[in-house]
């Protein structure tokens, strides 16, 4: 089981870490420009797109679990139909986002209280990057399908190529052409469409024979679509809560001024680095739990849960130790502004805690997604967001000032893990027993 987990997790960890690496490079590039509001604009602009794209993260997550189950059941026709449906949905949503780009940005800037300079350059960034929407959502679906097919290598290749291209283009636009946040946006736009082209090429390279199993008359299958949207409705609600939490965090940081926003943006990048690394094992859990549910293998399903939790928490502990020992040089990578660095150090302890504290909920997310047991995910996220995070923020900031915001974030992660742990024996492990009885 460890070999299977590492076979899937290592490519996922490598590819996942290239995602926050892009954020690190972008933050470092913009953080060293002459005006601090560029960094604020990047933070707000990224938050808007996180809200947009993470909201449709179900195109990847729901696709992985459903595909993995059909892979376990060895039904090629249903495997290829899942891919066709998700691509149709992804392009449709992407085109709608482009069509409604103006009201989206106007509403976003109305919600977020930032300085006029930050708002101005956020708009510059947004007006370019919004055109990535169709390609970005299509990539979500394609990569989710590859993971469901127990293929972590192709998503790794696509993600690394995407982010390396993005980094190279961003460095070129900012360092050579003397651009600012517009350079970051153009780099993202160009690299996203090139990555989608690579993904399509890889699909036909290995899975071309699956196309012969495609049944066009089954594309609009009422039962299959109902199942797909039922699973993804819960994932969507769960993801919206997650996005709301991070967006609220950024908005409250912006409300406290550009200096607080800049410091918290850097520390939040470190949270992202840790989460993407641990998510390598969460993605492995998605693939394996879905496969063993589809093949009705009780014992291997239990092993996949236990072993992935162990690996994820070990990596979380390692991340905490790295942040503790190397905090000063890590902060200096992001900015040379001493005011920002000193403020970041004031609340650094919360970022040091983040990897180990969050690891449990990250892995359990993967377990529940793979089993397509999405109702508990939805319910626990609603509780963690509205019963834990928001009250903790309002009471915490009154007592602990800037520490209160970070305290709320840590309690949010703990609540998610504890609640999903409560559901685990009542859903996933019970599910494995029922499946075993059917064999």
Q: Choose between 1 and 286: higher pLDDT.
A: 286
What confidence tens digit (pLDDT) does each residue in 171-206 have?
Answer: 898 878 877 788 888 998 999 999 999 999 999 999
Model pLDDT, residue 83: 92
Most confident stretch, 9-13, 166-170, 178-182, 338-342: 166-170
What is the Cα–Cα distance from 376 to 63, expressed in whole angstroms?
18
What residues make up the domain containing 159? 2-438
What is the Cα–Cα distance from 81 to 213, expressed in whole angstroms?
9
Q: Give the total number of structural domains in the chain.
A: 1
What confidence tens digit (pLDDT) does each residue in 302-324 have?
Answer: 888 999 999 999 999 999 999 99
Share of the chain above pLDDT 70, in %: 92
Report whether 420 contacts 309 (CB < 8 A).
no
Tokens of 413: 């992660």
DSSP 231-259: HHHHHHHHHHHHHHHHHHHHHHHHHT-HH
What confidence tens digit (pLDDT) does each residue in 350-386 have?
Answer: 999 989 999 999 999 989 988 888 889 999 999 999 9
What confidence tens digit (pLDDT) does each residue in 120-141 have?
Answer: 778 888 889 899 999 999 999 9
Q: Is 326 exposed, middle or buried (0-12, 13-18, 19+ CB in 10 A)?
A: exposed
Which residues 6+ apart lie within 8 Å of 404 measured at CB? Answer: 392, 393, 395, 396, 397, 398
Q: Choose between 313 and 399: higher pLDDT.
A: 313
Confidence of residue 23 (pLDDT cuts 50, 70, 90): low
Model pLDDT, residue 7: 75
Share of the chain above pLDDT 90, in %: 29
């Amino acid at each position: 089981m460890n070999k299977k987990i590492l076979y899937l997790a290592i490519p996922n960890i490598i590819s996942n870490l290239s995602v926050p690496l892009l954020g690190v490079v972008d933050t470092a590039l913009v953080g060293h420009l002459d005006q601090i509001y560029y960094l604020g604009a990047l933070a707000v602009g990224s938050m808007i797109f996180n809200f947009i794209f993470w909201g449709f993260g179900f195109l990847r997550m729901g696709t992985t679990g459903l595909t993995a189950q059909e892979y376990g059941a060895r039904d090629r026709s249903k495997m290829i139909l899942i891919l066709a449906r998700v691509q149709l949905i992804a392009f449709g949503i992407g085109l709608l986002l482009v069509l409604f780009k103006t009201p989206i940005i106007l509403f976003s800037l109305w919600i977020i209280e930032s300085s006029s300079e930050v708002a101005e350059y956020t708009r510059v960034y947004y007006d370019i990057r919004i055109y990535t929407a169709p390609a970005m959502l299509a990539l979500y679906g394609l990569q989710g399908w590859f993971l469901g097919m127990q293929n972590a290598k192709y998503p790794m290749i696509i993600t690394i190529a995407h982010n390396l291209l993005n980094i190279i283009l961003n460095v070129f636009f900012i360092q050579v052409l003397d651009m600012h946040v517009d350079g970051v946006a153009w780099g993202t736009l160009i690299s996203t469409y090139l990555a989608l082209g690579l993904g399509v090429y890889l699909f036909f390279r290995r899975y071309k024979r699956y196309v012969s199993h495609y049944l066009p008359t089954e594309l609009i299958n009422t039962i299959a679509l109902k199942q797909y949207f039922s699973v993804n409705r819960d994932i969507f609600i769960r993801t919206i809560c997650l996005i709301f939490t991070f967006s609220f965090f950024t908005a409250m940081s912006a409300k406290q001024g550009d200096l607080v926003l800049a410091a918290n943006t850097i520390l939040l990048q470190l949270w992202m680095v840790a989460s993407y690394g641990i998510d390598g094992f969460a993605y492995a859990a998605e693939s394996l739990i879905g496969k063993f549910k589809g093949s009705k293998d009780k014992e291997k399903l239990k092993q996949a849960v236990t072993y992935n939790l162990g690996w994820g928490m070990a990596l979380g502990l390692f991340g905490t130790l790295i942040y503790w020992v190397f905090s000063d040089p890590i902060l200096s990578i992001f900015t040379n502004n001493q005011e920002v660095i000193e403020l970041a150090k004031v609340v650094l302890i919360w970022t040091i805690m983040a990897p180990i504290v969050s690891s449990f909920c990250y892995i359990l997310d993967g377990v529940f997604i793979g089993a397509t047991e999405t109702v508990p995910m939805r319910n626990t996220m609603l509780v963690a967001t509205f019963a834990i995070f928001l009250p903790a923020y309002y009471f915490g900031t009154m007592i602990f000032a800037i520490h209160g915001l970070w305290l709320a974030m840590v309690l949010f992660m703990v609540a998610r893990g504890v609640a999903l742990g409560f559901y685990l024996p009542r859903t996933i492990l019970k599910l494995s027993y029922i499946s075993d009885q059917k064999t």
